[in-house]
Amino acid sequence: MTSTPSSSSCGCSDDSSDYSPVQSESRNDAMYEIANHTWQFPSLEIARMLSPKKPKPHIEPTAELLLQDQYDYVVDKLAFQNALEDVVTRLVNDASLTSQSFNLHDLAAFLTGCVEVCHDALDKQQDFPFRQDRWCRNFQFTVRGVPVDRSRKFVRRKSLIVGGRRFSGGDDVFYEDSPEGRPADRLTLPVEAEGSWQETTSRACGDARCLFNLNKIRSFVLVLAFNQDERALQFLIFHHGGLTASELCNVTTPGGLREIARLFLALTSWITPGDAGFVPSCTDTTCALPADGLGKGYALAALDGVLSRSLRLRGRMTLVSYLRLLQGSSEKGRLPWTSVLMTH
């Protein structure tokens, strides 16, 4: 991932408060984790990573992981390309971020507008589900609170923008250890827009760490990074292998807006929780475990306890749980065990 350090802040923060020393130390730990495990790809490849996908018709289910060229991607469909041209035309005619006077609320409004324009374009295409069936329905960006780790006493920093569904009134925050009953997908897309690229990426690591610990078995976390000096937006995908980033997308050029439109269209195409990185087969109390090598049978198991938990961003076995098979829950065959350790 390319980094363009800058000696000055981008000046778009509404509040000058910063992280506490404890939080800064945590961010440095996260940056060290991913230091040699970062990749950058063109926006088209990032869009394919984020896109809903399914195996091609001639691909038979196997116990092995499928290769990239064995999938059909929504972003490669003709209907998606038609929607993309519609979105690009509308974004190019919007000069909301080209002025010198700029703040976080302007950026939040621009990002929310991108989502709305993408939904409008998909509404015109017959090959896409209705808006109420899409994962990013009622999705908006707003200037809110900061991720808070209650166990390490992280302080609030008000310059964070977050995107998510079902926003309500009040100054909301999200936690590494979520209060019981808080929906894990309430805040799903943080935005960092302060300081140099190196500082922005460091803060994004902290956001991703919070979201991973909010939903322990999430497969990936998406964070947006914006730099006012360069007027550039970057999509950062954090996963347990490290960090995969898009190329920089300039919000003032037609080429940059095209790539932003492509990436936001991929997000608004999400249908299932799995598209957004959540694992729909597992909750905080129950998991549906595969009962065969083809994914056609499953067995329900109850979570009996957590044996080990790590706050790492990267690496295997960040969570080890003890599961107890529920009697009579197996479909299409019985499993030869009654309990199992699940690692993630």
Please indicate, yes or no, if residue 59 is contained in any of the structural domains.
yes
Same-domain status, 300 and 250:
no
Q: What is the pLDDT, as a whole number, of residue 24?
A: 52
Most confident segment among 18-32, 110-124, 138-152, 182-196: 110-124
CB 217 within 8 A of CB 223: no
The CA distance from 111 to 245, in Å, is: 18
Please indicate, yes or no, if residue 26 is contained in any of the structural domains.
yes
Compute CA 322 distance to the chain's CA centroid, rounded to the nearest angstrom. 27
Please indicate, yes or no, if residue 2 is contained in any of the structural domains.
no
Same-domain status, 204 and 89:
yes
Positive/negative CA dihedral, 256, 258, 262, 264: positive
Measured at the CA of 66, the angle between CA 63 and CA 67, to 5 degrees, comes to 150
Same-domain status, 154 and 303:
no
The tens digit of pLDDT for each residue in 2-11 reads 433 333 323 3
pLDDT over threshold 50, residue 177: no
Q: Binning pLDDT at 50, 70 and 90, where does residue 170 land?
A: very low
Same-domain status, 269 and 303:
no
Phi-psi region of 128 (alpha: psi -120 to 50; beta: other; left: phi over 0): beta
The CA distance from 204 to 30, in Å, is: 10
Number of domains in the chain: 2
Owning domain of residue 53: 21-276
Phi, psi of 333, rounded to the nearest 5 degrees:
120, 150
Positive/negative CA dihedral, 144, 31, 154, 220: positive
Q: What is the pLDDT, as a whole number, of residue 245?
A: 95
**Looking at 276, 299, 318, which one is the last position of a domain?**
276
Residue 58: C-alpha distances to residues 61, 255, 292 (Å): 10, 36, 21
**Looking at 246, 276, 306, which one is the last position of a domain?**
276
State how beta strands 38-41 and 242-246 pair. parallel
Please indicate, yes or no, if residue 301 is contained in any of the structural domains.
yes
pLDDT, greater one: 26 or 324: 324
Please indicate, yes or no, if residue 1 is contained in any of the structural domains.
no
Same-domain status, 97 and 158:
yes
Same-domain status, 233 and 327:
no
When pLDDT is averaged across residues 47-68 and rounded to a whole number, the result is 85
pLDDT, greater one: 78 or 31: 78
Q: Binning pLDDT at 50, 70 and 90, where does residue 157 land?
A: very low
Same-domain status, 222 and 120:
yes
CB 275 within 8 A of CB 54: no
Q: What is the pLDDT, as a whole number, of residue 328?
A: 59
Same-domain status, 58 and 145:
yes
Q: What is the pLDDT, as a whole number, of residue 64?
A: 74
Same-domain status, 81 and 159:
yes
From first CA to last CA, the distance across the chain in angstroms is 26
Please indicate, yes or no, if residue 196 is contained in any of the structural domains.
yes
Please indicate, yes or no, if residue 298 is contained in any of the structural domains.
yes
Same-domain status, 224 and 309:
no
pLDDT over threshold 70, residue 78: yes
**Looking at 220, 253, 276, which one is the last position of a domain?**
276
Same-domain status, 215 and 324:
no
Q: Average model confidence (pLDDT) for the chain? A: 75
Q: Binning pLDDT at 50, 70 and 90, where does residue 344 land?
A: low
Among 113-117, 218-222, 235-239, 307-311, where is mean pLDDT lowest?
307-311
pTM of the model: 0.79
Please indicate, yes or no, if residue 281 is contained in any of the structural domains.
no
Same-domain status, 79 and 205:
yes
Q: Binning pLDDT at 50, 70 and 90, where does residue 150 land?
A: very low
The tens digit of pLDDT for each residue in 310-328 reads 666 766 656 777 788 886 5
Among 85-89, 146-150, 195-199, 242-246, where is mean pLDDT lowest?
146-150
Phi, psi of 287, rounded to the nearest 5 degrees:
-130, 145
